[in-house]
Chain A
């Protein structure tokens, strides 16, 4: 459509071609969801609306950022709307470094003064072309890096430096010019407009006019037009759009209430007046403006016409940094040299087998063809640096483990040929894509690695990656309920959320899916639909939430990703500085960065690598052994026995209950079994029962059946290792190569196609596959049998390169647990930090393994858990209120001048930071001073006075007074004497002592209130509490558990019925138990803290929350003091009238044969009630299974 406008005002307008008809209009002031919690418009519907309205172009101008630039640009192009990328920038009222409120008016003009309580004004700007776009990126980035004060702010200096090819305006009512006018400062307004005109150039500066019927827009209109006239600034009509269509006004209003944390009915909340902040049609805009200010609409078309292409900025181009290589070398020649050097290192100088030589040559050739030599050098450098700094690197992750060059360079630690890993699964020469090597590091040192990258490649070329957190379904319900009903709304939202179908793989059904019959989960949403249809108030919340769902709420930072660029990122993409710590973050998300050719790497912090390092350190400290995991052969009897027993709590990726059951069934005895179990323990293979088949075939419980008799021999070398089952993607590829003549690259494409399960694609692929197999002489039956098996398994099969790489970590952890149990478990306990639930599980595992975990001790503990012989000492760092600084000081003093000989000595020698009442109270209660020979109770009574006296003296010393009175030590000693616990002071009772210990350590360590009652708990329960989560029992499973009730809390339903929640604890863990009204009525008299009970109920496991028990019944268990004894008495019951001499003789015989420490008591019952309890004084027994078996031969005697 080519037309002439010819209606421009103020010197602008004239011939405009290709940007719509004379009656058209271009929206240039448009906020999208990237104006977070202020804009509701999403890019796709936004550009579609512009296209529907036949608008030739459309701009975005988000508040202070350019995060949406790429997405908007690509969406607009798809619908044929010309994208205009801009920003509504924040401008500092003085300069960007001035970070204090500024007022231009008098105190009574506050409402009209500088926006953001004096922090900024607004300005609208657009990029005229690629140069302008880069300038806007830079301006917005520097505004964040230098000028952040409530908002990222630019200033005149920045604008003047980067104004080239930027078109700007006087801005909205919050712009500097209009603000000055409102304050009655016409000259300052004129001056500001003139300065901006000077900065951007006469042709690139416009007078922005808005009219949504607001007085603030009209009050200064005349003054603004007057300035325009005086300076020759052409007028420009804009719409300040914040949503796409008028009907979204209500949803937008809700979004603003979410932003401000207020309720919709709050008359004083921040809100927009009216519903005109949508994409007006050209007719509407022209109807408003053409008669008021001629040319104001035409100029939008004029600007659109002037906007050039941004393609150069967004186009993919290699931005991979070049690795510094010696003179005379290039990236490839150096990679070749480094690779061969690496192979030599791997083979320790032995001659390289031909197969390896060929594989390396092949891979290097592909890497060169694909142009990635620098990538390998960069990654290898990172791994080498990490090792040089003793930062543990993961042995391999993802498909990169299949790359021999990566193995040679020390990027991975697994020989791909030995483990049948394929290079093409990593880099497919038939499918060009960036290599992706994710690196695992010791999680404590991940920050060191990011610093290294930043130092090596330049801080200006490295950044972490932005993510955009959106409002998810349940959060939308919560937000909607809160803005509509305030705090009470949360419980309504909770009610609606609970009526939603359970999340699948952590993902909820979308709110729109609830009423969308096309949604795959529609049928599951009956409960929520019934609720919404029957209750208008919940429906209103749902409707509001619907408008909020999916909108961006806030920016975040990718957990692992790092971008490395060959050029300063400021020149490439928008970046921002995280206000909390100044960290540099990209303004584009990962897919955008990747599509622009930026190198992304994932640096993952893996806790288990930390555990491995700590365990190795513990071995050195405890046994003096230097231990190198990397050189450990992947075979060890003890490790495989541990795996076969399923004793894998705390073993990497093999820790869950069902996994342990699978290990027991599988009885792994070689490394390949570990890789297989990691691949098989996934929903797909498990649904096909492949995991059980593997275990059964491996152990001869089922025969190994070939896919087809014709295929038995050809596929033997591929499938024998997995007992004829297809477990790995690499096997699918190898099969296609072997029997259908595919190249490995082609086989990878086939595998990908199979995984997508699209019929038309599969039909096409089958033709080539069938032909290939026919050419290899296979029958139609064999072809069909293989295809039918391959299809589902190609989807289920897992990447062996990954499971093998991670399998090494699993093997190492199993090896350490089996061979160095105390050292490994100490490292594991340290790693779980504040997660007391996990710690309780691992402490219970220590108990099961016969490892004693000792309470912390100021004379023996370090910061972390340490191995002491076969046992473990609690770390001081795990004591509540005791920080690393205190522990460092305490340990340093102990190491420098010997162990503390007593309380007085401790107080005298400790630094002032340690002499803190809260710290000492915590250590006392945790048992940290037990070894000093005082009771905990006694020390707690005197510790405050001790600290008061000691601190006063230490301060004097610090102030130099001890140089005047150099006899201070003696004085402290004298003073401290009177502050020692009274000799003979008794300790708290067991319950109090353990209660304090738990308060400080988060769990019972020296003992447990139920210690000794194990037999009673076991006899009255089907499972331990830890097993509920470990065994992953499904929702609704009925269980009987026994333990002690704590945290019993009475609650009231909306109908006024009483119900209760409580925690049930046994020696291994705790679980929340809910007693609903009818159950409560039945058992309420038994609900009290510290009662030992058995609870019958059903497992409640929904929404990925921790499992709970919904109780159906409860019984009180009697635990006497005698039960808690180390050797509880054995009580036998018999009826007095059935006691015969022969029976007594037989009993004596059994007692004699099983001598032990358990006293025997006999309850003689009278036939008509009552009885006598007798204590046997001549014998005590050991109640082994054999003892009880023999007791069963006396039917008249029963065990109590």
Chain B
């Protein structure tokens, strides 16, 4: 468990590198998943880091490069990893975490029109 710097929003997040579920997008093995507090609800959300799906995501490049070089987190590179992880989570926290009402309603309408089946 580690904390993100900066006041007043102190965010604690947990990094999991074991017992990972397959990436929900491609089914491949992610490098890690972080659990962070949900921005608008009580409870948490998790974000996986997937070498395939996040390859085009610039905020993930640092951590992806870390795993490409080190394969795993070891005592010798913990600090580097922690810093990269902090930066990555901080960036992820900035990314939209909800579906807008308009987008949501469009999908509800599409489903009601039978376009999903």
**A residues engaging B (CB < 8 A)?**
491-492, 494-499, 527, 531, 1019-1020, 1040, 1051, 1053-1055, 1059, 1074, 1076-1079, 1082-1088, 1093-1094, 1096, 1098, 1100, 1102, 1110, 1112-1118, 1169-1170
Contacts and interface: CB of A to CB of B under 8 A. Distances in A.
A1078 B41 contact: no
Contact of A1076 (B33, B45, B97, B107): B107
Given A1084-B25, A1117-B44, 12 more contacts: A492-B114, A1020-B42, A1020-B43, A1076-B110, A1076-B111, A1078-B107, A1079-B104, A1085-B24, A1087-B24, A1094-B41, A1114-B45, A1115-B45
Q: Please provide the 3 A-B residue pairs with the shortest distance between their CB atoms, ordered closest to farther.
A: A495-B114, A1115-B43, A1084-B24
20 contacts: A492-B114, A497-B114, A1020-B41, A1055-B115, A1078-B103, A1078-B104, A1079-B104, A1084-B25, A1085-B45, A1098-B108, A1110-B108, A1110-B111, A1113-B38, A1113-B40, A1113-B97, A1113-B99, A1115-B45, A1116-B35, A1117-B42, A1169-B2
A491 B117 contact: yes
Given A1077-B107, A1084-B24, A1113-B98, A1118 B116 contact: no
B107 A1085 contact: no
A1112 B24 contact: no
Given A494-B117, A1054-B116, A1077-B107, A1112 B99 contact: yes
Given A1085-B47, A1113-B98, A1115-B41, A1076 B113 contact: no
Contacts of B43: 1020, 1093-1094, 1115-1118
A1115 B104 contact: no
Contacts of A1055: 115
A1079 B45 CA distance: 13
A1053 B115 contact: yes
Contacts of A1087: 24
A494 B114 contact: yes
B99 A1085 contact: no
Nearest to B37: A1115
Nearest to B24: A1084
A1114 B48 CA distance: 16
Given A1019-B42, A1170-B3, A1112 B104 contact: yes
Contacts of A1077: 107
Contacts of B46: 1085-1086, 1116
A213 to B, nearest CB: 42
Contacts of B114: 491-492, 494-499
Nearest to B43: A1115
Contacts of A1113: 38, 40-41, 97-99
Nearest to A1117: B43
A1040 B41 contact: yes
Contacts of B111: 498, 1074, 1076, 1110
Contact of A1053 (B38, B40, B103, B116): B116
B21 interface: yes
Nearest to B4: A1169
Nearest to A1102: B112
A864 to B, nearest CB: 41
Nearest to B42: A1020
A482 to B, nearest CB: 15
Contacts of B35: 1116
A1102 B108 CA distance: 12
A1086 B46 CA distance: 7
Interface string B55-97: 0000000000000000000000000000000000000000001
A1059 B116 contact: yes
B99 A1078 contact: yes
Most buried by B among A531, A1055, A1082, A1112: A1112
Contact of B115 (A1054, A1082, A1093): A1054
A724 B114 CA distance: 50
B2 A498 contact: no
A419 to B, nearest CB: 47
A1112 B116 contact: no
A617 B25 CA distance: 59
A1055 B99 CA distance: 19
Nearest to B111: A1076
B104 A1110 contact: yes
Contacts of A498: 111-114
Contacts of A1100: 108
A1040 B43 CA distance: 12
Nearest to A1094: B43
Given A499-B113, A1082-B98, A1096-B41, A1076 B104 contact: yes
Contacts of A1102: 112
Contact of A527 (B40, B41, B113, B115): B113
Contacts of B104: 1076, 1078-1079, 1098, 1110, 1112
A1116 B113 contact: no
Nearest to A531: B113
Contacts of A1079: 99, 104, 107
A1086 B116 contact: no
Contacts of B3: 1169-1170
B44 to A, nearest CB: 5
A489 to B, nearest CB: 12
Contacts of B115: 495, 1053-1055
Given A1079-B99, A1170-B3, A1086 B45 contact: yes
Nearest to A527: B113
Contacts of B47: 1085
Interface string B6-40: 00001000000000010011000000010100101
Nearest to B22: A1085
Contact of B44 (A1040, A1074, A1115): A1115
Contacts of B112: 498-499, 1102
A1082 B97 contact: yes
A1051 to B, nearest CB: 7
A527 B115 CA distance: 13
A199 to B, nearest CB: 57
B85 to A, nearest CB: 14
A1200 to B, nearest CB: 11
B37 to A, nearest CB: 9
Given A495-B117, A498-B114, A1118 B24 contact: no
